[in-house]
Copies of this chain bind each other. A is one copy, B any other.
Amino acid sequence: MLRTHTCGELRIEHVNESVTLCGWVQRVRDKGGMLWVDLRDRYGITQLLFEEGSTAPELLSQARALGREFVIKATGNVVERFSKNDKIPTGDIEIRVGTLEVLNASEVPPFIIENDTDGGEDLRMKYRYLDLRRTEVREKLQLRSKLAIATRNYLANQDFIEVETPVLIKSTPEGARDFVVPSRMNQGEFYALPQSPQTFKQLLMVSGFDRYFQIVKCFRDEDLRADRQPEFTQIDCEMAFVTREDVLNLFEGMVRSLFKDIKEVDLPEFPRMTYQDAMRLYGSDKPDTRFDMKFVEFNEVAQNKGFNVFDQAELVVGICAKGCAEYTRKQLDALTDFVRRPQVGAKGLVYVKCNPDGSFKSSVDKFYTQDDLQSWADLAGAEKGDLLLVLSGKANEARKQLNELRLHLGDELGLRDKNDFSPLWVVDFPLLELDEETGKYHAMHHPFTSAKKEDIELLDQSPGEVRANAYDMVINGVEVGGGSIRIHDKPTQQLMFKHLGFSEEEAKAQFGFLMEAFEYGAPPHGGIAFGFDRLCALFGGSDSIRDYIAFPKNTSGRDVMIDSPSHVSDDQLEELGIKLR
């Protein structure tokens, strides 16, 4: 190595040793007689000292010529500092430099390489390699690396085999859009990049691999919302001979172990909540259970009192905001504005203040007596000083809107602490989802998910009511992972495809290999996939997955650093048998 030690390594016990350090110039402080250089590498910062009198004049002027982000190699003696810095582990010592070599100079970087940078998002993305130099950013990727290793070791210890499934696979029109890859050797034909290794992992179960996992890149050619990436990473897992409880327990164990190892957090046991309860109590299939504020349905007490809006609503539903009766008119107006935003879409918001004196003040006093409002408060368990916030409308819509309001209030009231973790399993998802536009059902999870045995007879008459053997792991309102017990026999898989509107030919052309595999002794099996980028963000206490991806793409799917995608030559296209339209 060009160095004897890293910049994070030297302590008081190294005093008098001769050492060589390499790194980047973080800062130069020139006090005339003395000149200090903060030398930085991944491991820390060490102070270099140059002193007029004891330092040779040429060396001193060499040091004076250093600029920010120069890469240097410095040899010298470790000495005890006169004024120590207890903010950094190397703060007791400094290096009295004897020789200095500039390994590479640096232009002035386009933004400051510190946690508090002056660089905007676009600039930092263009110079991502400099952005990654910032300790805060690098540590996020180090966390990611640690999480991946810990995940692998946990699963390997549980007898899981990591198997790499192919990246060049086959396009299927089901689900999201595939990225495709023209085949030069099979002109006119295309590979597709996998949206998930779903069918391959199921085949591995048919192969008797028993326990499979893979940390694997997946691809989806979708229009990119704020926090979506065209390529993302999954922890993909599958097990044979399991019931739902086996899968839940094993992966609950994994996540608990990761939290313990990486964050020293002891997670509580994960409660199970049905999809139906999650929707009824939180208006979301990924409820943030760090705080309570469960939904209360007011139909019985609020309807038929002359308030038309409520009378005509399918659902009158609200939440109780503890201790918020003192909200001002302005604050209440802001909440009303919030629910009226087109992204939320409510028409209005009814409030009831449970005053400290036991009286009520509401926005619908015209229609409800104090006794009426008392019955609302009783239903909601509201006490003096609390605030009820009530929405109404079509049940699904009102719930969705109230979910947004609940999360917003949770933020406002500081109930969503990033260092609190509240996990749960949401189970019994519907098997099928009605597409309101086409009137057709499609698979809520994917077409390989099995139905609950007791519901399967409903498939013909009320397909929307059939519950699936599907589950999501939710932590702090984030869907961390999801999976299901799969179909493992051909007749059931055929039935499922039929209900999803596949013709027999379509089913065979796309998934014939899987259905054929089911005829040769397929074991019962199930699994789960975790969004690894999201898991990293959760561990890091961040909302954005982008921070946890070394070289992310922007919302147009571009890598602005390498300027990709880009044009390719006509020759190249000709070889591939394609041309531009």
Contact = CB atoms under 8 A, between A and B. Distances in A.
A576 B177 CA distance: 11
A123 interface: no
Nearest to A246: B1
Nearest to A242: B1
Interface in A531-574: 549-551, 553, 556-559, 561-569, 572, 574
B168 A231 contact: yes
A179 interface: yes
A162 B142 CA distance: 8
A209 B168 contact: no
Contacts of A3: 241
B223 A185 contact: yes
B170 A559 contact: yes
- When all copies of this chain in the complex are counted, the total is 2
Give me the 7 closest cross-chain CB pairs, A-B, nearest first: A106-B521, A170-B564, A132-B207, A189-B565, A69-B521, A183-B565, A129-B203
A184 interface: yes
Contacts of A246: 1
Name the interface size band of chain A.
35 or more
A513 B562 contact: yes
A104 B561 contact: no
Contacts of A187: 580
Contacts of A551: 165-166, 200
Contacts of A180: 181-182, 568, 572, 576
A219 B167 contact: yes
Contacts of A200: 550-551
A566 B171 contact: yes
A156 B149 contact: yes
A142 to B, nearest CB: 6
Contact of A221 (B132, B173, B184, B524): B184
Interface of A: 1-3, 6, 22-24, 40-43, 69-71, 73, 103-107, 109, 127-130, 132-133, 138, 141-142, 144-145, 148-149, 152-153, 156, 161-171, 173, 177-193, 199-200, 203-204, 206-210, 217, 219, 221, 223-224, 230-231, 233, 240-243, 246, 488-489, 513, 517-524, 549-551, 553, 556-559, 561-569, 572, 574-581
A19 to B, nearest CB: 14
A107 B562 contact: no
A70 B70 CA distance: 68
B208 A24 contact: yes
Given A41-B208, A127-B520, 7 more contacts: A109-B520, A141-B163, A181-B193, A187-B580, A190-B568, A200-B551, A574-B581
